[in-house]
Structure formats: C-alpha cells, structure tokens
Amino acid sequence: MYRFFEIIPGFLVWLTIAAIFIFSYFLPSFVAVFIILFDIYWLLKTIFLSFHLRQTFSMMKKNLKIDWLLNLGKENPSPDNKIYWRDLYHLIILPFYKEPYDVIKETFDSLTLSNYPKEKFIIVLAAEESACPTALETAKKIKEEYASHFFKFLITVHPKNLPGEIPGKGSNEAWAGQKAKEEIIDKLNIPYRHVLVSVFDIDTRIEKNYFSILSYKFLTAENPWRASYQPIPLFTNNIFHAPSLARVISFSCTFWKMMQQARPERLTTFSSHSMPFEPLSEIGFWGRDLVSEDSHIFWQFYLHFNGNWKVIPLNYPVFMDANIAPTFWGTLKNLYKQQRRWAWGVENIPFMLKGFIKNKSIPFFKKLYWSFNSIEGFHSWATNALIIFALGWLPLLLGGSRFNYSLLSYSLPEITRFIMNLASIGIISSAVLSVLLLPPKPSWFSRRHYLLYLIEWVLMPITLIIFGSFPAIDAETRLTLGGKWRLGFWVTPKFRKK
C-alpha cells in the first residue's frame, strides 16, 4: 500500500499532461474553455494570495519594531503552562557538511548579538564524519571562539554509513539531538518541558529578537507543547551577488512562505524552525530514512499525537543565503537541484496517507483536508505553470482546421492574454515588495539597480516553468518510479563572493 501511495502524485501529474494533449486533439473546444476558466481561477487565486502576502508583510514589519524581551518580562505563566520565560532553555542545533568557516562564523555572530540571555543557549554544532577532518577542524575553531558566549557548546560528529539511514540533514539532526539529550539535558536534569529546540540551516542568521519572540509565542500558545514554530525565511544574506534568476526564485520562495503564514491551518514546517523538546524526544527525534526532514517532522508529530499538532507562524524573519555558485551556469544547475530537493517533500504523502489509514483517532475530515491539500499542492506545483504559460496554445496547434476557424479559436489567445495582463499586477506588486525586503545596500548599489531589480521580475514565467514545474515533475516522477530513481539528500553549496 505504501508503494501504491508513492505512485499517486506522479501518476496524477502525467495523467493531467497527457489529458491536455489528448483532449486538445479530440476535444479542442472543451480544452479551450477549460484553459480560460483555469486562467480565471489562477487570477482570482493570485488576488487572494496577494492579500495574504501583504497581511504577513505588515505583521512582520510590526513585529520587527517590538521589543519582545521587554514583553517577555511582562508575561506571567498561564494556569495551564506554569512556566516562566526565565525557565526556558534554547537548544540550537546547527547541522553542517562542508560549508566554509566564514559562513558559519556569520551565523554565530548573529547568535551572540541576540538580546535573549545567552546563558540559556545550548549550542550543538553537528558535523558529518564524511566531511571530516576539515569539518571537525572548523567546528573546533568555532567552539574556541564562541563557546564562552553560551551556557553549553557541544560538537557532535554524525557517523557515516549507519544502517537504516539516508545520509543527510535529518539523520545528522537526530544524532545531534540524542547526544544533546544524553550529554547535557539529562546530565543536568533540565526538565524536557523547559527546552525549546531550534534547528537552523548553517547559513541562518537571526535578528536579535528572534528567541524573545519565539519564547513569547511559546508561552502564550494555548498548548505550547503541541506546536512547532515557523519563522519566515528571507534568502537575502548574499542577495546582491545573486544573478537575476536566483533573486527572483529566492524571493518567490519567501513570498510563498509569507502567504502560508497567513493561513496557519495549512502551514507545515520548513527549513529553519523550532519545536518543544519534550514531544521531540517522545517521538524519537527526526526520521533517519527520509530526505525532507524539515517537513517530515511535522507529520511525525501530527500522526503520533493523533492530529493534535499545529504550526504557529512567528511572522518574523530569519535570514539565509540565496542559492548561487561561482558561475552563472553553476547557479542554474544548483537552483534546479535545490528546487527538486524541496519538491522531494512529496515523499511525505505516502507516509501521511499510510499513517491516516493506521491511525483511527484522527477525525475523518482532518484526514480528508490534509490529504486533498497535500496532493493538490504538489500537483499544482508541477502542472499549473505549464497549463498557464505553455500548454494553453495546444488547442490551436492540435485542434485541426475545424476548430481553428471557430470564434473560440480566435478568442482564446485574446482572452488568455487579457487575463494574464490582469494577473501581472501580482508580479508587479511582488517586484516592489522584493525591493522593500532588501537588506542594507552596499556602496556600489545605485538608482539604476532599483530599476534592474524591478524589471527582472519579467523572468517570473520562465522561473515558474524551468525552476518550478520541471523539478517538481522530476521529483514526483522519481517517487513514482522508485528504486534507483529515488533522490538522496543534496547539500546546497554555500558560496559568498568576496
């Protein structure tokens, strides 16, 4: 049954693509009407999501102005939680592979600038044995420079070739979490309920109030031990050195995650995020045999706690690297691989569906809601851009002379062009918002660069197909085929121009 569930996403994608070709030949009028209706639906969805984007942007700006540490000082424990903020410890796990020292140093510089009491920080710098001895030397150098800033600093080395594991971030995090439990938390008798775990990509830089707002959201949540806490990823650490395509893709990902913050009922964990240690320890930490550990951990919690798990949006940023390489073509290659790895999150669908069948305690409508939204989300990722920008002309090409002499044939390109022109308002607003989210400008940044950063958004249709639909189709097809076609964990190289 698990294998059957793996086949579903890719099968639906290829069925959709094949159906458009077949019906464009045999029923071109039907497909033409479908495409017009689909474009209208996409326009309405664009408007709907744009409101969510602006809502989150406004909330983020507001949250960045608040002194959350001061708010914590005013916060009393609720009768249910019975915990003060000064009781909280923050376990920060930083898995890394072969990332350069300078990248890791910037992450630790941002941690030292946090306004939260750093005597409550437990740092775990998690290296991979396969990257040693270089990774271990880097870790020791970082520890020597920064350990004195924090309560505890632990270096772990995840062994390679452990049975039943897929080498990657998830298995490394699980090893690091277990070691932190054994060597620090248990030895010091720190109550599990008093520990919040933050898992950060090694290039993640925090704003000084991050752990203050995280603690505040935790303490004021209705049931804080049944929730994950998700910030907004801003891929802006090296944004000024990224090619136009990389900038558009980076901001597109940020905007999608911002929209999701306004719809917490659909929100799952992604990349850098936080969670309480007690339930994490209860489920046995991260799964060691899957690639997409950041989203998979949500489903581990959700199934284990019978649907009593949610993601609380922080509406607060963390800052990460845009995906770039030393060369333009290297950047394109890395962008494709990164998007395909993210799309490999489709592997959570069979895990979720099998869990829903086995778990009789989760309400049926919750199962139906998540099943539909998860399958529809990955299906849309793979097919929507193709239908809108590439396959809309198929009835004209395959419909034959009878269709091409019809009024509908004449109207199809005019109607779709008009709808797409209206939808371009969303692209324009995204372009403006991307400029507003830029970090402090370097000295060489001039007025003409503002114009360039706005104009580059005309690349959006290209990025949606080449770096959206194609890698999603690739990932979902590989899951359908199984076996040797499965993806392993691909580490996104970190590159900074001097």
**Model confidence pLDDT, tens digit, residues 75-103:** 665 555 678 888 899 999 999 998 999 99
Predicted confidence band of residue 390 (pLDDT cuts 50, 70, 90): confident
Given this model, what pLDDT does residue 78 score? 53
Residue 230 burial (C-beta neighbours within 10 Å; 0-12, 13-18, 19+) = buried
Indicate the SS3 state at residue 318.
Answer: strand
Q: What is the pLDDT of residues 32-64, one digit of tens each?
A: 888 889 988 988 888 888 899 999 999 999 999
Residue 279 domain-assigned (yes or no): yes
Predicted confidence band of residue 413 (pLDDT cuts 50, 70, 90): confident
Residue 359 domain-assigned (yes or no): no
Given this model, what pLDDT does residue 498 score? 63
DSSP string, 85-153: GGG-EEEEEEE-SS--HHHHHHHHHHHHT-SS-GGGEEEEEEEEGGGTTHHHHHHHHHHHHHGGGSSEE
| Measured distance between the N- and C-terminal CA atoms of the chain, rounded to whole angstroms | 52
Given this model, what pLDDT does residue 289 score? 82
Indicate the SS3 state at residue 316.
Answer: strand
Instruction: Show the DSSP H helices in 147-185 as ranges.
Output: 169-180
Residue type, 2: Y
Reply yes or no on whether the pLDDT at 166 is more than 80.
Answer: yes
Reply yes or no on whether the pLDDT at 249 is more than 60.
Answer: yes
**38 dihedral zone (left: phi>0; alpha: psi -120 to 50; beta):** alpha
DSSP letter, residue 391: S
Give the residue, 81 or 298, on which the prediction is more confident.
Answer: 298
Number of domains within the chain: 1
Given this model, what pLDDT does residue 52 score? 92
Q: Under 8 Å CB-to-CB from 296, ≥6 apart: which residues?
A: 170, 286, 287, 290, 345, 347, 348, 351
Q: What distance in Å separates the CA atoms of residue 2 and residue 350, rounded to the nearest whole number?
A: 6
Residue 201 domain-assigned (yes or no): yes
Residue 411 domain-assigned (yes or no): no
**What residue numbers bound the domain in which 178 lies?**
81-327
Mean pLDDT across the stretch 469-486? 95
Enter the tokens of residue 418.
Answer: 């008009």
CB 322 within 8 A of CB 235: yes
Give the residue, 497 or 367, on which the prediction is more confident.
Answer: 367
CATH of the domain at 262: 3.90.550.10
Angstrom CA distances, 124 to 197, 198, 227, 380, 478, stand at: 11, 10, 22, 38, 34
Residue 8 domain-assigned (yes or no): no
Reply yes or no on whether the pLDDT at 176 is more than 80.
Answer: yes
Q: Which of 20-29, 114-123, 311-320 bottoms out in mean pLDDT, i.e. has the lowest?
A: 20-29
Mean pLDDT of the chain: 91
Reply yes or no on whether the pLDDT at 183 is more than 90.
Answer: yes
Given this model, what pLDDT does residue 30 score? 87
